[in-house]
Structure formats: structure tokens, C-alpha cells
Homo-oligomer: A and B are copies of this chain.
Amino acid sequence: MIGSVNPLIAKLDQACSLTGAARLRLEAATAHPSSLPAHHDFIRQGEICADLHVVMEGFACRYRIMHGGRRSILGWLMPGDMLDLHLIPHAADCAAATVGPCMVARISRHVLDELIASDQNLAEAIAWARLGEEAILRQWLANMGQGPASRQFAHLVCETFTRLRMVRRVNGPSFAFPFTQEELGDTLGLSSVHVNRVLQQLREEGLVTLYGRMLTIRDLARLERYAEFDPAYLQLASERRLIMDERKEAG
């Protein structure tokens, strides 16, 4: 299953049904991703990069080194996710690195401009993708630091599972999960020791297990309740259709 679907197309198509021509253009633009090893920085903080990166396979993250040496992970990037989607080249306010081995495509600003100019629908889909990106960021802000750590982690798992499903990267209850406990700690603002205890707790409660680099959801419904997870913020795409319909009725 993995690799069988272009994740970028899957994601954008969910926002605005793409034409065949648009699919072909996207397919061409992402046809030759580079294969990066685990823990490889591909955007440095402060670097001005005009090009767009697209994660095609594996996990990457955005992070920043804080005063005192502590690392803070500010976002996870999964297949179909774009980096620096802003239409303006600017200095990166945080670095980006792979977590496990990754496939990352690079689209030059020039090609991106062409893509957007060529297809109104595609331009709109990209705008929606950016909106979704922002929604996730705000959700992280709301999630982190609120309630017990086990709930926060459970929420993160629910989000990840949903995002992966949207780009057809899971179908069963398990998926590859290359984060170390220390990296999870850097994400949630917890010590790795405490992450370990949280994982044990969730395993004992029969919600989630993490063996090797494989995460398994034991009881999705209970996990979502436990995490207080509401997938609405990830489903801007379907919401969009509601809005379009409303407009037609109004106009």
C-alpha cells in the first residue's frame, strides 16, 4: 500500500477535486524526490529558501533549539505535507529535519508559480492546504500543556492517525512510528523519562502500544474519548464543500 498513492495529490484532491491535467502536473513536479537518511537536517534555521519542499514518504519535523540547549519540536510533517507554503521567500524561523528515513521532493518557486497560475482549482487547493496547516498549529497550541501528559500524547496519536489516513498511509490499526521517546518528549515538552511512563500507562489501559518503531491503536473509539479528540480541525476539506454549496444557494 505504501507508496502506491501520491500523497500530495491525495491531500489536495480532498480539498478541491483536481482535474486530470492538474494531477499530471503535480505528478511530474514530485516525480523525483530525494531519499534522505534519518535525522538529516534539510532546512536550517535562518536560511532563506525560496523553494517548496514536499514530504512524500516518512516523517519529518520542524524544530528549534531553545536557550539552554533544549530542543523544541514545533510540528510533525507527514506524506503530502508541504514546507514553506507561504508564497513569499523568507528566513525560516525554525529548522526542518527528517525523523526516520524520508522521501522529500523539492519544487522550485518557478514551477510552483506556474502550477498556481495554470489552474485555478489547484491554486485554491493549495490555499486550503495552508489553512489546514494553520489549524493544526493552533490545535497543537491548544493541546500542549493542557491536561495530563497521557491525554496530550493520546491526542497526538489520534491526529497522526487521521492525517496518515487522509493520505492513504494506513488502513489497519498499526503504522510506522519512527520517533524516539526523547523526540516525543521534545514534541510534548516532557522529559523522556516521563514519556516512557506515559507510554506504559496507555499500554496498560489497552489504548496504544508502541513496539520497535511500530505504533498500534488498540481501541480507537476509547482512545479518541480519552484524548478528547475532535477531528473537525483536520477536515477543512469536506467543510469547504459545505461552504461552496452555501454560496451557490445564496448567489
Contact = CB atoms under 8 A, between A and B. Distances in A.
Measured as residues with beta carbon below 8 angstroms from the partner, the interface class of chain A is: 35 or more
A94 interface: yes
Given A74-B138, A142-B64, A142-B66, A131 B88 contact: yes
Contacts of A89: 243
Contacts of A90: 131, 236, 239-240, 243
A91 B239 contact: yes
Interface in A134-173: 134-135, 137-142, 144-147
A137 B130 CA distance: 14
A189 interface: yes
A138 B138 contact: no
A64 B228 CA distance: 14
A117 to B, nearest CB: 15
Contact of A228 (B66, B142, B228, B232): B66
A45 to B, nearest CB: 10
Interface string A61-80: 00010111010101000000
A86 interface: yes
B135 A93 contact: yes
A233 interface: yes
Contacts of A232: 93
Nearest to A232: B93
Nearest to A140: B141
Nearest to A151: B67
